[in-house]
Amino acid sequence: DIQMTQFPSTLSASVGDTITITCRASQSIGPWLAWYQQKPGKAPKLLIFKASNLEIGVPSRFSGSGSGTQFTLTISSLQPDDVATYYCQQYDSFSTFGGGTKVEIK
Amino acid sequence: QITLKESGPTLVKPTQTLTLTCDFSGFSLSSSGEGVGWIRQPPGKALEWLALIYWDDDRRYSPSLRSRLTVTKDTSKNQVVLTMTNMDPVDTATYYCAHSPYWHFDLWGRGTLVTVSS
């Protein structure tokens, strides 16, 4: 099974900061990675698919990069509405989610 | 507009079989490329992928839960059904169904909380 390790597990930043979340796969997954945002009590929302493709309607301050085993989600100019837990998901071999990164505002 | 909604029991006893239904609209599971997946999330924990079914009846299961899961579709009713056997308290979670164009999940239902307890 492919394991997905996300870090940090918690991130605290100020409004306007640029933050980066990293997801590492236990083996190469090519570009087959998605990122989701989940707010408390809500279903996850797709942000990025195939590593760097922005889902329709998602603000351009969200961006994804990487391939193989290391991927990053970057949020430029962090907004209060971005407070959430973020998950990566590999779908190269079946599917596995990362453990999540909780983003808070300082 | 694609929508999905999960339904099923909120409480099941250990060893029982859980049956969940996903009612969807806005797409057809008889159309090429369309799929529906199931994902769960124990309280306060991370997401876990369970199963996927595609328009051509291709079915995929989490290797760790494969022996306990069955996913089926009824294209005439726009429904997907997930069954999970031998339920245990560790299976307590919110269960989501989601639209899957290719192994990622672009639209999700609101989820249904299932508690396993005697």
Closest residue by Cα to residue A23 from A60, A85, A78, A66: A66
**Whole-number average pLDDT of chain B:** 97
pLDDT per residue as tens digits for the range B47-87: 999 999 999 999 999 999 999 999 999 999 999 999 999 99
Return d(Cα A60, Cα A41) in angstroms, integer: 25
**pLDDT of B13:** 98
The pLDDT, as a whole number, for residue A50 is 97
Cβ atoms B98, B27 nearer than 8 A = no
| Both structure tokens of A45 | 């929302």
Give the strand pairing for B11-12 and B112-116: parallel
The predicted structure's pLDDT at residue A31: 97
Q: Is B107's CB within 8 Å of A46's CB?
A: yes
- Which residues of chain A fall below pLDDT 70? none
Query: A19 CA to chain B: closest CA distance, Å?
Result: 21
pLDDT for the residue A43: 98
- Report the residue from B52, B64, B104 with minimal CB separation from A89: B104
Q: At residue B101, does pLDDT exceed 90?
A: no
Total beta-carbon pairs less than 8 A apart between chain A and chain B: 57
